[in-house]
Structure 1
Amino acid sequence: MKFDLHTHHERCGHAVGTIRDYIEAGIARGLQVIGISDHSPYFASESDREQPGIAMAKSEFKRYVDEVLKLKEEYRGRIEVLLGVESDFFPEHADVYRKVYEQYPFDYIIGSVHLSGGVSIFNKKRWNGLTDRQKVEQKELYYDLIEQSARSGMFQILGHIDAMRGFYPAFSDIQTDAVDRTLKTIGEIGIAIEINTSGKTKDCGGWYPIDPILERALHYGVNVTFGSDAHVPGRVGDDWEEVAVRLKEIGFREWVYFKEKQMHKVPL
């Protein structure tokens, strides 16, 4: 069974196409399940739309949910449409986000860390002038946030858990035990990480996370799922078959998707 749980659309301000476009692309790619998971608004902000080019407005959120639910019914029997959202994780605002999400019938929520130490994880300038020790500290800060997101109980999936290497490939070479500690926590809690194929569109190339992290994830019993992180309809399901082959080579025997926040296992 083919599925893709991480897709965006025009509401976030940096993707193109409508939700319908992504569903139709999923059908064309032979998917049986597609999850719609656009970027959450900045719910803790006083403004309706804190960053127009990054996330949807708060006033759009209910319309987003209603549209996905409507399309879920329209496409029933052709493809299963799941209601998701990619949520930022800010520990200081976790309760604000949690209270919003409890109002809606999400099939799953992806928790993603996009800001670490108040700076975008994709900002390569954040590394300028840092000592080796400071680089380790930055990596440990990032994985501490990911570990906190796992412990929050808000998420079924954690998004792109080494995306900080997107525009700084040397990130992967920074040595710290923080990655193992985080994976151990994720495994104990029983949520999933995604294999996110959008890394191929960044300077680092390839997928998130890199193979050594997936090998450690297997060691700690971490569940894995698939997300293209498509921001254009043409990337829906991108590299699905290749990811399945690689996971089997690493030693995984199944991957998962979520419906009504319940985990469903699919043999590889």
Structure 2
Amino acid sequence: MYDYHLHSNYSDGDFLRAMVAAAASAGLSGVGVADHCMVVSTDWARESRRELGFNLDTTYERRREAIESLREEFDLRVFDAAEVDYEPGHEAEIRAFLADADFDYAVGSVHALDGANVHATGHFEGMSESRRRELVERYFEKLESLVASELFEIAAHADLIERNPALRGFATREQYERVADAFASSRTVPEVNAGRVRSEYGRFHPTTEFFEVLRERGVEFTLGSDAHAPDEVGPLAAELRAFVADSGLDPVTLAV
């Protein structure tokens, strides 16, 4: 099994060596170190880079050297990847960076909504329901644009809004169908993401309804634990294995 999405200390995860060692102990055949990376020139991205220290755009070459050493040490494939924030209208910036960086593959994600992180419950919880529904629609518009751009091999956690209690439950089947149609026409594939399966959220991305809509369109999936700590890797790999067995999913293996 390949886990194409976990993080290291080159963004907001634990030490790179510890994450790869945990993946090897979990019996994975391959693991993708897909650290957060922001290259778009928006106010939100610049502020997030400063405050969160997401500097992979300047440190990826150093990380690549470390990954090459770890490939020699551990008996699994270690992919040099990045989770890159997407913003409509900034495709040229992202494309130029990815061409220069030449990662094994890129994961695209939408984290910014209304000038805030999608996770920021406090930013959204005081809004009217109609405003929150508008923002959920905006989230799916961005996701649809991400998929259509074909900048990325993988689209991360395709319904990230479900992690936020203030935005959870507002997605519609029509939104799912629009995004599913975009995936069906794109080289970009979504992932089954287990990043919050052991928290109060308690579900995979995408939700069961969204997953079934995507499968109706013949959309394929990769797998990603979205693990940030070594002790998460093994349990989340087990959760993903169980999901694959229960759903009959045949995950994609990237040609990298």
Q: Is TM > 0.5 for Structure 1 vs Structure 2?
A: yes
% same residue: 22
Whole-angstrom CA distance in 1 between matches of 2:177 and 2:53: 30
1:256 aligns with 2:252: yes
Q: Give 1:1-268 correspondences, 5 Å limit.
A: 2-12=1-11, 14-17=12-15, 19-42=16-39, 44=41, 50-53=49-52, 55-56=54-55, 58-72=57-71, 74-75=72-73, 78-168=75-165, 171-175=168-172, 177-200=174-197, 202-252=199-249, 254-260=250-256
Whether the aligned pair in 2 keeps the contact of 1:87 and 1:109 (CA below 8 Å) is: yes
Whether the aligned pair in 1 keeps the contact of 2:225 and 2:240 (CA below 8 Å) is: no
DSSP 3-state at the match of 2:221: strand
Whole-angstrom CA distance in 2 between matches of 1:205 and 1:37: 23
Whole-angstrom CA distance in 2 between matches of 1:175 and 1:70: 46
* Structure 2: tracts of 5 or more residues without a match: none
Q: Mark the CA change 1:68 to 1:164 in structure 2 (over 3 Å): closer, same or farther.
A: same
DSSP 3-state at the match of 2:253: strand
| TM superposition score normalised by structure 2 | 0.88
Whether the aligned pair in 2 keeps the contact of 1:186 and 1:192 (CA below 8 Å) is: yes
| TM superposition score normalised by structure 1 | 0.84
Aligned residue identity for 2:19: Y
RMSD: 2.5
Number of residue pairs aligned between Structure 1 and Structure 2: 254
CA drift of 1:184 comes to 1.4
The runs of at least 4 consecutive aligned structure 1 residues that moved more than 6 Å come to 45-49
